[in-house]
Amino acid sequence: MTGPVVAGLTKSECLCDHDEESDPTQIVEEDAHITVPEWRLHKVQSPILLKHDETNHYDHFEPLEFHGHWDQGGEATLSNNGFTATLRFQNRELPVLIGGPLHEDQYVFEQLHFHWSDDDHSGCEHIFEGQAYSMEAHAVHYNKKYEDFKEAADKHDGLAVVAFFLKATDDDEHPCFNKMTEAVKKIVKIDSITSVPSDCLTWIKEEAQCKGYYTYQGSLTTEPYTESVTWIIYPTPIHVSREQVSEFRNMKSTPCEQHNIVKNVRPIQTPAGDKKLDIIYARSHRKSE
């Protein structure tokens, strides 16, 4: 994911260079030049390993609801920024995510992008039960109480990212996912953009309805790695064909067209010390529109 650089906090300025014995709140007080909100000291970086047995089960959330994600109308585009393929909607009311771990806030769809690798067994960022899948799709939403994605991106409740795993199989291609792969063929060049049918997200519909998901508070998995993300991760992979995954590897990462985007996955991040992550397993109870 991309976002603005967080002013006043870089890696060298954070806790990493300090004595582990010291109290992190002391560091903030000692350095008058840096104001570090408390939530940035939690140091929960993404992606992480997910194990069902190590999660807290919680059934009291309101249902998580997707509104408008697979509706027709308006326009959609897919673009190549040299790092990933990014889907955006235009000229329509943007989809909204509500409920679940998002409390009373509404989160507006900003973009959906993909992570993949040079083989079919290491292209996801989160690892569920030790299993690495072929790709991971991230549907990025920002909290509507902020002006836009840019303003929300460094707030602790700023972003909600829904993650879906994709598994390459020898089976037939996924017909709905074909709307994405056909578009990927048209954005091989860096900075290229193409139109996509506006109902191009139907391949996530089944997974996003009536199933359990994992949620935790983490970070962006690309710079500036801000800890502003409520992650919502669906564990069951969506099956696509190997050919559909391989189309993404043809995308170019440089204007000279000598390099492909072969791997855009951040490695698993391990919490500092024996810090235990608070990962919740929640169930959706109601079908979304």
- What tokens does 57 get? 């089960």
* Shortest spacing between CB 17 and Zn ion, in angstroms: 28
From 132-140, 182-190, 199-207, 273-281, give the range in contact with Zn ion by CB under 5 A. Answer: 132-140
Choice between 63 and 82, CB closer to Zn ion = 82
Choice between 1 and 282, CB closer to Zn ion = 1
* Shortest spacing between CB 178 and Zn ion, in angstroms: 22
3-state secondary structure the chain: CCCCCCCCCCHHHCHHHCCCCCCHHHHHHHCCCCCCCHHHHCCCCCCCEECHHHCEEECCCEEEEEECCCCCCCEEEEEECCCCEEEEEECCCCCEEEEECCCCCCEEEEEEEEEECCCCCCCCCCEECCECCCEEEEEEEEECCCCCHHHHCCCCCCEEEEEEEEEEECCCCCCCCHHHHHHHCCCCCCCCEEEECCCCCHHHCCCCCCCEEEEEEECCCCCCCCCCEEEEEEEEEEEEEHHHHHHHHHCECCCCCCCECCCCCCCCCCCCCCCCCCCEEEECCCCCC
From 134-142, 151-159, 262-270, 277-285, give the range in contact with Zn ion by CB under 5 A. Answer: 134-142
From 13-21, 50-58, 138-146, 194-202, give the range in contact with Zn ion by CB under 5 A. Answer: 138-146
Choice between 61 and 107, CB closer to Zn ion = 107
Q: Which residue's CB comes closest to Zn ion?
A: 138
* Shortest spacing between CB 33 and Zn ion, in angstroms: 31
* Shortest spacing between CB 157 and Zn ion, in angstroms: 19
Write out the binding residues for Zn ion, residues 1-30 only, by CB under 5 A.
Answer: 1
Write out the binding residues for Zn ion, residues 66-105 only, by CB under 5 A.
Answer: none
Choice between 135 and 279, CB closer to Zn ion = 135
* Shortest spacing between CB 129 and Zn ion, in angstroms: 21
* Shortest spacing between CB 38 and Zn ion, in angstroms: 26
- What tokens does 259 get? 């390099």
* Shortest spacing between CB 84 and Zn ion, in angstroms: 7
Total interface residues for Zn ion by CB under 5 A: 2
The binder of Zn ion chosen from 138, 141, 179, 252 (CB under 5 A): 138
Q: Which residues sit at the interface with Zn ion, rule CB under 5 A?
A: 1, 138
